[in-house]
Each structure stands twice: as C-alpha cells, then as structure tokens.
Structure 1
Amino acid sequence: MRKKWSFEPVGMRWFRPPGALARGTLGVTAWNGARILVQLIWIVMAARLLGADGYGLFSGIAGLAVTIGGFIGLGMGLRMYQDVAREPTLFATRWSQACSGMVLSFLPLGACYLLLSAVIFPGLDWGVLLLIGGAELLGAPLVSLVAFAYAAKGRVVLAAAVPVAMAGARVLAVVAMMAIQPHPDLRSYAWLHVLMTGTAAFCMLIGAARLLDAHWQPSRLSWSDIKSGLGFSSLWASGLAFGSFDKTLALRYSSAVEAGTYAASQRFASIVAMPVEALVSAALPRLFRDGAGMREHPRLLPMLFLATFTYGMAAGACLWWSAGALVWVLGPAFESTIGVTKILALYVPLYCMRILAAHVLLSRGAVRYRVMSEIIAIATMALTMSQWVSRDGAMGAAKAILATELTLVLLFSFGIYLRRRFPH
C-alpha cells in the first residue's frame, strides 16, 4: 500500500488543540496554582499572627489530627474514586457507602485522637485539642471526599478547585481573627478555624449534591465492603501520616519555636512541589485504566517521569536560592528557617518522585506494598526524629525528613520494578 504523505505546515502544529490530558493538567495546574497562592497567604498570615511558638503548636496538633483523620470514612472515598473511574454507573452506590463510612468511623477515631493527644501533648489546653481536632477529623475528610467524587466522575478540574475553597476559608479565619483581636492566643484562633472549615465543608457537600447528584442514601456496609475499604484507608492514612506526623514529632521532641520553624520551612517546600501533584492527579484516572490493562497511552509513564524529575530538580534549586526570602516574608522570629529550607531544597525532588511512584503503585493495585513501605518510612521518621530533633532542633527534623523521603523513594522504586518484572 502506498504511504500517504502529510503536508501540514510546520507552524500549524502549534495551533492544534491540546489533548484531554493536557487540558486536564492545565486546568488542575491553574487551580493548584491558586491553592499554592492561598496556602502561601495562610502560612504567612498564620505564622505572623501566632508567632513561631503558636504556629508550632498548631502544626503539631493538626498533624496528629490529620494522621488519624486518614482513617475517617474507612477508605470508602478512595475506593469510590477507583471503582467509578473504571465503571461510572457505580457512583451512587459508592458515594452512599463513603458517606456511611464517615458516620460510622468519626466517634471511635475521635476518641483515639483525644487519647493519643493526652499521651503525646500532656498539659495542652483541651479546648484547643477539641477545636483543631474537629476541623481536621471531620471538616477536612469531608472536603477530600467531595474532591474524590468529582475526580471519580472525570471532573478533575473541579476536584482541584475543592481544596482551594478550603484553603480560602482558612485564610478568612485568619483575617477575621486579625480584625477581632490583633494579638490572639491559639484557642481564640482555633474557634474561627473550626467554624470556617465546617462552613467550607458544608458548602462543598451542597455543591456536589447539585452538580453530581451526590445524595446520601443510608446503606448497610457489608464486611467485604469494609475489608476492601480498609485497604484504601490504610493507604490514605499512611500517606497523610507521612505528610503530617513529622510536625507532631517535631513538637514532641523539641520546643514549640523549633517545631514552628521546621513546619514553616517544610510547608514552603511542599508548596513548591504542588505542580507535580497537579500533573499526577490529572493523570490518575488514566493510570487506573492503564493498570487495568487499558493501554490508551503507551508513553504515559515515561512522559510523567521526565516531567516530574525535571520539575523537581528545578524547583529544589529555586528553593535553595530563595531560602533567605522566608525570613523577610515570615518575620524575624523565623530567622533560623534559612538553614532548614536549604536542607529541604534537597527534599523537593525526592518528594516529587515519591508522589509519582506512589500513584503508579496505586494504579497497579500494589496497595499492600505501598502501605507497608509507608509504614517502614514512618518508623524511619519516628526513629530519626527522636534522635536528631532533640539534639539539633529544626535542622534535625529537616535531616530526618530528607532521610525518610529517600527511604520511601527507594522502596517505591523497588516495588514498581517488581510489578513490571512480575505482573502477577
């Protein structure tokens, strides 16, 4: 058969409409850019309002609540995401199961949070623990559930917009606190924090009901449903623990000021890496289908790896050179963030590669391996934090999280290799 030649002008190639993945990535990146900006505003305003000690206390308490909050819902939200991405007709059933899981799990996990708080933070104000815990144990998981629902239905741009609303609500909490009381204590801010978080969660649920017809029909969860969800719950919780429990450990083994210094630097480093999360989130439905044998885009993984590695290296270099700017942004109380941020600049490319590898393992069904790897990494974090933070403060915490990220990247890479070598 004679080959047909195309004489499309070279310049016209630049005017081709972007593909679905490119459009989704651009939309998600735009909303993540907004989230980066809003979270950056919140970090700066909260740090200036509460000071290094108040910000350190808030980050440590919230880190514990977020870690336990990963089990809220019994993993039904992430299960809904996977199943509906593959079979859209399951949405109504999986949404109702996810809402039922939230109701069933809140009280026992809330009691677990209070018990651990009494052990880890003896002497802290119980009012502060209850308020911050309520926001992170109920409000934040509800918002995540709504984001999962949008993503499961293929509306990844709206899924990326949901956390922006949550971040914006928390900025409003700081603004309101500044207007009411210029020099508040942590308990005063915690009241507004939980109020704004709850309002944002309620609005997100109303929006999902209207746009997705997401209505809760109380449904009975079978043991097989709970067992399946718990696997995802362990996955989600271990991921949250890895990103939040470090602040709790920093507060446990050092002063509130040192914990605040580390928390501020680590949050800036995480914000720098957010565009990679946007890219991987936009590609996750395709990764799920690819993991199920639907090879729509054979070059998807190599392209994601190249983009992630390139961005991670560039972002880490930028964070290194701009480390001194954090003191100017946060105030003189955070002067020691310069050295901590330079260490965390090395952490950024590892963090980016870990995000990609974690999602690849999830899409390949390697949930158990990923959870076990993250448990090993959390144990590594706890061990290194206990040894280094008490000795070197915030610098020790930064070195510990760098060692932990390296451990997890190696474990995830080995898991991907095993999946490729032995698919079954």
Structure 2
Amino acid sequence: MDRAEQQRLRQAAWLMVGNGLRLGLSGAYFILLARLLGPEAFGVFSAILACSNLAAPFGYLGQSELLIQRLSRQGSPTCTQGIGPSLWLAGLGCGGMALVLWPLLSVWLAGTPAAVVGVLLLSDLLFIAVPEVYRGILIGREQAAGVALIDTGMALGRLGAVLLAVALGWGSLVQWAVLYGLMVLVVLLLIARGMGRWSEPSLPLALSWRDLRERLTAGWDFAVGLAAVKTFTDLDKLLLPRLASAAAGGLYSAAYRVINFSQTPMIALLTSHFAELCRQGQKGLPQGWRYACHLSPWVVGYGSLAALGLALGSYGIPWVLGSAYRETALILRWLSPVILLEGIHLLLSHLLTGAGLQKPRSRLQLMALGLNGLLNAVWIPRWGWQGAALATLLSEMALVLALLLLIRGQLRSLQRAGPRAP
C-alpha cells in the first residue's frame, strides 16, 4: 500500500469517526425531540425536513461536487478561487427554493402556521446547503478531518437546541421553529468563521456570465444526480404516511435509519477517494475505471457483509426499539441489500463524474428517480411498506445496471476510436 493510499484510508477513518459521532448525536436528538413535540407536531416537522432534503440539491445546485471536481484537478490544497460564488449561488438557490415550496408545503400541511413552515423550510435548506459547499471545499483539498468536524458540529448544534428547548419547557412547534432557526444561524456562522471565509472577496457581480453559465450547467447535472440519491432514500418516507398509514411510515423509517447507520463506513471510504477518482477520471475513463475496480472489492465486500449482518441482526430490533417495532425487523431484512446496491451506485456515479460524464449519468439517475416514484405511487396503496421496499430495490438494481451499461458503451467507443494522434 503506497503512501497516498494510506493517506486516503486515514481520511476515510476520519470521516467514519465524524459520521459515527454525528449519527449517535442525531439519534439522541431525534428521540428527545419526538418526546418533546409529541407525535403530531413531530410528524409535521419530519415532513418539512423530508421536503427540504429532497429540494436541497436544486437549492445549492451541486456546487459541492463541482468544487470537489475543480479543486482536485487544480492540485493545490490551498486554492480557494471560485469558492465564494458557490456560496452565493447556494444561498440564493435555497432562498428561491424556499419561496417556491413555502406556499405549496403550507397547503400540504394545512393547519400549520405558514410562518412556522417558512422558517423551518428555509432554515433547513440553508443548514443542508451551506455546510455541503464547505464540505466540497475540504473534500477537494482532501482534508477529511475538517469534514468530520463540520458533521459533528452540526449534530451538536441540533442536540444543543433540543436540550435548550427541554430546559425551557418549549414544546410547541412554533417555539421549536424559533429555536431551530436561531441554532442554524449560530452554527453556520461558526462554520464560516472556522473556515476563514470572511476575508475572501466573493461579490456575485465579480462572477463572469461565462463562469456562471458553466457553474449552473454543471451544477444542474450534479443536482439531478444528488436528488436521485436522496429520492431513493426519502420519497417513500414522504409517501407512506399519506398513501398507507403513519404507522407504516414510522416502522419503515426506523428500518432505514439502521440502514443509514450501516452505510457510514462505505460512504466514508467513497468520500475520501472522490477527489482521486476525479483526478484519475480526468486522465480518461479507462484510467478511472481501473481505479474504480481497485476500490470495488472494498465496496462489494463491505456491502455484502453489512447486508448479511443486518439480516441476521434484525431479529434483535424489537429488543432494542421495543415490541411496537417488531415489524421493523422484517422491513430491515427486505431492505438490507440496499447497502450493497447503493455502494455500487455511488462508486459508479463518482467514476462518471470524475471522467466528465455527469450529464449522461444524471439522465440515467433521473430516469431511475421517475421509475422509483411511479412504482411507489402504484405499489404503496396496494402493499404498504412492502411496495415501498420493492420499488427501492428494483429502482436501485435498474440504476446500477444502466450505469454499468453506460460505462461499458463508453469504453467500447474509446477502443474503437483507438489512440489519438499526438
């Protein structure tokens, strides 16, 4: 193992630690918040979070992935050129998304004050988008420790807010919206200060129209891909309470939370190698494919073992979560292959991004997103969570197969074209 590979594994370890701390803190946060707000208010808050999570990629327009791609190719760990415009675009994009979604979500959540919906929606969009841009900077520079600190700081902010609400006895959704908005503002200011972004001149007028067009075009392709990934994990949770029952949605969400926790090591590994995949992909798809094949045993091996471990360990779910979650154990056995499928999906997506093929990649992801939504809409009313699980599994398998066929077709085209003339 060479020195560069050891460095990337250390970065993966940092990300794993950061994600592990974040998930642990987030678990405590959600338990406390659910008890504080009660089922009805907590359900409204969860619906707003699901909406912001699905809309966020189009809010920050894939600027984090764009920064990773650009910084990894510039080769300078201290380069900051162009970071400021990404932050401006993310902020303006999230504000625009909030204005569009606010009235729609207020109608969907009839009975909830519109001001509460607006504050929570905008706060959460910014809480996702701005740190995501900073994470893109750090990943592009291969500074995984900073990513871990951001993730842990965000989780601590959430937990601190709910602990303050408990101490003050603020249990209404209106009161929680005030605390949540203030918490987001404080955490974002602390992150910006820690990143040292205050001194950079980043007025939006300094951005040329050509660069703006390039950022928006490339960012849109990234956003579609990110939205596809988020839709696979969040759309069914948004639809189940409406198309089946709130109980089915809760049981299913509990199973998916276990899936998300189990994905932490794999996501950390792929995130730490994202910049190198971009560098290898810049040399050509064949070079990037060889590097992806080098990573594939880790992805397939961990995904297979984790899926098997979850299937076997699912029998302990009622003991951990209580007898009310007995059916979650069965749901977890259905969903356990998702860990392997999403790992392969993310590896192939990173490869195509590094090789500059994000546009055809995004088109395939968008088609898979449509398939997932269609299957959920048809199957959930008939079969409840079983329909949601089947829709997720079939859509993930279709996407992995489509990405493999795309890569195969591109490699064959390069072989037929032969070596380029000097």
Which residue does 1:198 correspond to in 2?
A: 185
Which residue does 1:37 correspond to in 2?
A: 24
User: Within 5 Å, which residues of 2 pair with 1:54-203?
Assistant: 55-87=42-74, 91-118=79-106, 120-181=108-169, 184-203=171-190
Write the distance in 2 (CA, Å) between the matches of 1:179 and 1:328.
Answer: 30
Write the distance in 1 (CA, Å) between the matches of 2:178 and 2:190.
Answer: 19
Given candidates 249, 271, 275, the residue that maps to 1:259 is: 249
User: Within 5 Å, which residues of 2 pair with 1:20-419?
Assistant: 20-47=7-34, 49=36, 55-87=42-74, 91-118=79-106, 120-181=108-169, 184-209=171-196, 215-220=200-205, 221-230=207-216, 231-240=218-227, 241-242=230-231, 243-293=233-283, 300-419=291-410
SS of corresponding position for 1:380: helix
8 Å CA contact 1:316, 1:349 repeated in 2: yes
Distance 1:316 1:118, change over 3 A: same
Q: CA deviation at 1:337?
A: 1.8
1:95 maps to a residue whose letter is: I
Q: CA deviation at 1:37?
A: 2.7
8 Å CA contact 1:71, 1:234 repeated in 2: no
SS of corresponding position for 1:19: helix
1:380 maps to a residue whose letter is: L
Distance 1:349 1:77, change over 3 A: closer
Identity %: 24
Write the distance in 2 (CA, Å) between the matches of 1:50 and 1:351.
Answer: 33
2:349 maps to a residue whose letter is: A
Instruction: Tell me the TM-score normalised to structure 2 length.
Output: 0.85
Write the distance in 1 (CA, Å) between the matches of 2:36 and 2:389.
Answer: 24
Instruction: Tell me the TM-score normalised to structure 1 length.
Output: 0.85
8 Å CA contact 2:91, 2:130 repeated in 1: no
Task: Report the RMSD for the aligned CA atoms in angstroms.
Answer: 3.1
SS of corresponding position for 1:422: helix
Write the distance in 1 (CA, Å) between the matches of 2:226 and 2:122.
Answer: 20
Size of the aligned set, in residue pairs, is 408
Write the distance in 1 (CA, Å) between the matches of 2:299 and 2:250.
Answer: 29
